[in-house]
């Protein structure tokens, strides 16, 4: 597939359905989150094998802070554990690890672990794995607008730059600066919505909604999604 350029450079996944997966098995919701970590590992490996350059995963939204404290706490602990366990695997597979989102809301322990994983993997270049944590699209755009407004307040002489700003320039103010927009966004568990994810960056993404719950989404499902993407005709508003 790679030869005819149909491998997406950036695949993004809204990892949904962990709770339902656990409930179907008569277990606590957090059991589904733990199993979802195995899907993260499987999809990361598949992405490396298929030559995808960026894999981004929506792991926790700003709105997810409103979940019961026990679930939030367990999820955050799971992230620390997963990072610790997966670091050697990422090093072996040439994976550069990046976390994007409102890190001010994360605990010091989690932030320290993130910093450690990011600095240790910074020179890896086979795949960039981006984890969106405490992220929402509206938050991202609002932060960008604030940054821009404050910059202009401090440097009024840059007014003309702002007036002449293009969409590509604004992208540079978002947390995803330097990362290409997602070519393919997958959402598992049958929900057909963005839930405040990458609102700006998803402007021309292809979407794939699948009934498969995230803990069941493994290498075969990832490869099937790439095969579906290869059939899509992207027109970007033009006539072909
Ligand atoms: C996705 O699974 C993981 C997070 C949002 C953190 P959910 O926890 O949303 O699972 P469902 O949608 O309730 O089944
Ligand atoms: C979206 O899933 C967020 C993540 C997958 C991290 P949710 O389960 O939170 O979304 P809604 O509430 O069903 O829209
Ligand atoms: Mg959900």
Q: Are strands 127-135 and 54-61 parallel, antiparallel or unpaired?
A: parallel
- Residue 5: pLDDT band by 50, 70, 90 thresholds? low
Q: In angstroms, rounded to a whole number, what is the distance separating the alpha carbons of residues 140 and 164? A: 22
Strand partners, 147: none
**Which two three-digit tokens encode residue 220?**
């075969």
Where does 10-136+182-227 sit in CATH, by number?
A: 3.40.1180.10
pTM: 0.97
Predicted pLDDT at 240 = 82
**Model confidence pLDDT, tens digit, residues 101-130:** 999 999 999 999 999 999 999 999 999 999
Q: Which atom of ligand 1 is nearest to the CA of 191?
A: 12
Taking CA atoms only, the protein residue closest to ligand 2 atom 9 is 64
Residue of the CA atom closest to atom 14 of ligand 2: 195
Domain extents for the chain? 10-136+182-227
18 is catalytic: no
């Amino acid at each position: 597939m790679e030869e005819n350029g149909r491998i997406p450079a950036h695949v993004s996944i809204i990892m949904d359905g962990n709770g339902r997966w656990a409930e179907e098995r008569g277990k606590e919701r957090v059991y589904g989150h733990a199993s979802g970590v195995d899907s993260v590992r499987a999809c990361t490996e598949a992405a490396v094998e298929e030559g995808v350059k960026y894999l981004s995963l929506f792991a926790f939204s700003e709105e997810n802070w409103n979940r019961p404290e026990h679930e939030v706490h367990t999820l955050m602990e799971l992230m620390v554990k997963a990072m610790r366990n997966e670091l050697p695997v990422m090093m072996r597979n040439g994976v550069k690890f990046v976390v994007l989102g409102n890190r001010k809301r994360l605990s010091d322990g989690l932030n320290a672990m993130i910093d450690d994983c990011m600095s240790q993997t910074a020179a890896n270049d086979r795949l960039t794995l981006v984890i969106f944590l405490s992220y929402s699209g509206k938050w991202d755009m609002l932060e960008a607008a604030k940054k821009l407004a404050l910059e202009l307040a401090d440097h009024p002489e840059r007014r003309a730059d702002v007036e002449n700003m293009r969409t590509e320039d604004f992208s540079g103010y978002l947390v995803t600066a330097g990362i290409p927009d997602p070519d393919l966004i997958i959402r598992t568990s049958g929900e057909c919505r963005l839930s405040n994810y990458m609102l700006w960056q998803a402007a021309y993404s292809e979407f794939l909604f699948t009934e498969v719950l995230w803990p069941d989404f493994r290498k075969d499902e990832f490869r099937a999604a790439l095969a579906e993407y290869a059939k899509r005709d992207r027109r970007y508003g033009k006539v072909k």
